A and B are shown apart, each in its own frame.
Chain A
């Protein structure tokens, strides 16, 4: 297992080198540049030139690249041209928000999706099965921003039981040593702040988790249906194993493999940022910050954030592979 993990981590190096070069060229291929975006439409060519000199954008691209790589290796991701703050600082500020949001969405998707998909398959052809198929169809087709508005309209505007925007009530007196607001509430002994942060996660979590939920339901249902008809299940039934053992050890365990793959991919995607959800709920996360940086042609932020996303994606996939091993002993020995 350890060798497997080390091998996968070593693979990260060529992936990151290739990606960083592509990335570097890609952000520079965007029309317009940071200087133009910074200075706005009243910019004179001279002013643009001056800002380009200031940020070293007038040098050849390979020179800029090597300098950037050198800085990244020293832990310096550069400075955002838009906010004038170090990219690393912006990353550490926005990433915890997105992690909290993505986790909430995945807990919602898996917590509701797996049981729903499982029981839909077990009760194949009943109303529960039909409802879960229809519901997942509904979940996949409904646009996130629309769902976000509807949720806010119902639960915040009409009922007034959940907040519309942000990560915490602005009036809440809370400290944030880690940047994970729920955790912060707990470690600083302020359960009210933790609950409030949790309340702020519910609606965006549901909005963001609906598509993964729909996918999880469908995959689980299909997978369980397949497994239920496997020979080994019939054998287990024939040799008189207890139904609970068959369901737990033989059906669910085998059926979960494709679900874990999907969940891993979805977590990777969600951590890459949920621009729409973060915008609709004014949630100061990673995705929205990156989207704003694209508009501002903020090269340093784009490079830093995308590189970081790539690392996260690879790590999440590694975790998925490890999870495979836990579920399926064959993977461990392979």
Chain B
């Protein structure tokens, strides 16, 4: 043994010595390696953006993920857009628009002199060709994972191939003249306007779609695949950047569109480099090898700031709530629901369980969304008030079954069990008895909450697009087992709001709906959580959009 061994003390001393030598070497090197780090001057006006993954596909109609839309948002443009940093609908490829009285006809006046990157003219015929393409998807293209947003907004296709698809909301598109498009709906809906700001409704060059076989599917029935190269090598839109090249896993390059109709991009190029982990993206930014990235880990924010980077907050577009199923008598009792709302210390839940920047939610929609106002009943944390309401409710020894999920973490609900523990303590302090019930998130928990089996349940929502209907309408527009209540006033207000063509009136209706909902207390919204982006000191003009509609053309490097 002794022949090959070494006394422990000496081993430790040598180990310590080795660590010191390695650290000294790490801090004392002076060799120059080409192509690394690089000076800002050499980088010129090229922005290197660290993404967390490759885009799925660059055909806007076929993606529903943020990594894809970040790229297609620069290549393609939509008829209407969202204001910088907000959710208000502003002009896009359409300069102006009108919605008919019955909210079934949308008339868009298009910008003149716009050209696609392939030189083809942008006009009403091109817009209608895109709508007709989406509406006539068949086979693979009809699956929810492929044309998610068309299915979400327009519900169905010309020839539905699955029972789950509904009658399409799309009723036809007419090119009235070169610069006027008339979009017909089969039912009244004012929501379509804000839905059209989604990058998935980006207008593509009809010629490129055809030339690069965007919709052609090949392979066997078992493994169908898109054969065209539109979404991988030839995405052609009207945006401020054109597609350059893409090596999956390595980098994707966009180059400035010098023929752009509007203010031209200040950057000559954008390179997206996929770096999966937030900590690695932060390290790359601190090392100066990338300029910007999204989804920063809150734990990295301080080190980024102290390294001189900018930390930008993306306004929350989600909300976490404590829902009530009014199937049981106790939950039908409004005083009990109000008592719960007063009993819960939401400030404490958010402070203890959420990252910096998270806020208490007071309504069932994020406060960054248009039509939000603070003008409704609020339930402050007040244990005495809660006790008083329980006494007034006529229910003695109120017992609540409280469901929470396991195996899930969402921006709006980072630690469901932790949230539950805090709320349980609050409810008990107010005089409730709480029976916990937990189950795995999918499918058990989601199924039982959707069936209305949970009197109290923790859930939340990540918004799809910037319309209050996507939040309030999703929850409360009609009867659902999940909430198990009928409140015709709320249902009608939301239904009217969905169909109201006048934006100002719509806004008023959603304000009214928020007031009605707050008074009725169908649940307790409690948290909304932002995300963070980071950029090098010299990056200017980046305004993160709450609905991920970032326009990187406004960025410049100083």
Q: Tell me the A residues contacting B by CB distance below 8 Å.
A: 38-44, 46-47, 50-51, 54-56, 64, 67, 78-79, 83-86, 93-94, 97, 127, 129-131, 133-135, 137-138, 149-172, 176, 192-193, 195-196, 199, 222, 225, 279-282, 284, 288-289, 300
Contacts and interface: CB of A to CB of B under 8 A. Distances in A.
B384 to A, nearest CB: 40
Given A79-B225, A131-B14, A225-B4, A166 B35 contact: no
Nearest to B5: A133
Contacts of A97: 249
B287 A160 contact: yes
A161 B29 contact: yes
Interface string B96-128: 000000000000000000000000000000000
B283 A149 contact: yes
B488 interface: no
B14 A195 contact: no
A216 to B, nearest CB: 16
B34 A165 contact: no
Given A79-B225, A157-B287, A161-B32, A169 B247 contact: no
Given A138-B18, A156-B287, A225-B4, A167 B250 contact: yes
Nearest to A84: B225
Contacts of B35: 163, 168-169, 172, 192-193, 195-196, 199
B396 interface: no
Given A159-B29, A279-B276, A84 B57 contact: yes
Contact of A154 (B27, B38, B275, B279): B27
B4 A222 contact: yes
Contacts of A55: 222-223
Given A169-B35, A170-B48, A282-B280, A54 B6 contact: no
A135 B32 CA distance: 27
Given A38-B145, A56-B221, A196 B26 contact: no
A151 B23 CA distance: 10
A161 B31 contact: yes
B442 interface: yes
Given A51-B145, A55-B222, A170-B251, 10 more contacts: A44-B164, A130-B6, A138-B18, A156-B287, A171-B271, A192-B35, A193-B35, A195-B33, A196-B34, A282-B276
B219 to A, nearest CB: 6
A152 B247 contact: no
Interface residues of B, number: 68
B143 interface: yes
A161 B38 contact: no
B144 A159 contact: no
Given A51-B143, A94-B249, A161-B33, A46 B163 contact: yes
B145 A130 contact: no
A39 B287 CA distance: 37
Given A84-B57, A284-B274, A39 B29 contact: no
B41 interface: no
B224 interface: yes
B446 interface: yes
A176 B251 CA distance: 13
A131 B18 contact: yes
Nearest first, the 10 closest Cβ-Cβ pairs linking A and B are A284-B249, A56-B222, A196-B35, A154-B26, A134-B14, A282-B275, A134-B15, A169-B35, A170-B271, A46-B164
Contacts of B48: 170-171
B289 interface: yes
B91 interface: no
Contacts of B226: 84
Nearest to B161: A50
A172 B4 CA distance: 50
Given A164-B289, A282-B274, A284-B250, A171 B38 contact: yes
A153 B221 CA distance: 49
21 contacts: A46-B163, A54-B221, A56-B221, A78-B223, A79-B225, A86-B225, A93-B248, A149-B283, A156-B37, A156-B283, A159-B27, A161-B36, A163-B37, A164-B284, A166-B273, A170-B48, A222-B4, A225-B4, A279-B277, A282-B280, A282-B284
A130 B250 contact: no
B349 to A, nearest CB: 23
Nearest to A169: B35
B36 A162 contact: yes
Nearest to A198: B33
Nearest to B23: A154
A130 B219 contact: no
A130 B10 contact: yes
A137 B11 CA distance: 9
Nearest to A281: B280
Contacts of A78: 223
A155 B29 contact: yes
Contact of B248 (A163, A165, A284): A284
B36 A169 contact: yes
A168 B36 CA distance: 9
B185 interface: no
B234 interface: no
B273 A130 contact: no
Contact of A160 (B37, B42, B250): B37
Contacts of B43: 171
Contacts of A171: 38, 42-43, 46, 48, 271
Interface in B373-413: none
Nearest to B286: A157
A134 B287 contact: no
A47 B143 contact: yes
B153 to A, nearest CB: 14
A160 B39 CA distance: 11
B53 to A, nearest CB: 9
Given A166-B251, A168-B250, A135 B224 contact: no
A199 B273 contact: no
Nearest to B25: A154
Contacts of B145: 38-40, 51
Contacts of B37: 156, 160-161, 163
A85 B225 CA distance: 8
A246 B31 CA distance: 39
Interface in B23-73: 23, 26-27, 29, 31-38, 42-43, 46, 48, 50, 54, 56-57
Contact of B289 (A46, A64, A163): A163
Contacts of A225: 3-4
A52 to B, nearest CB: 10
Nearest to B53: A292
Contacts of B219: 79
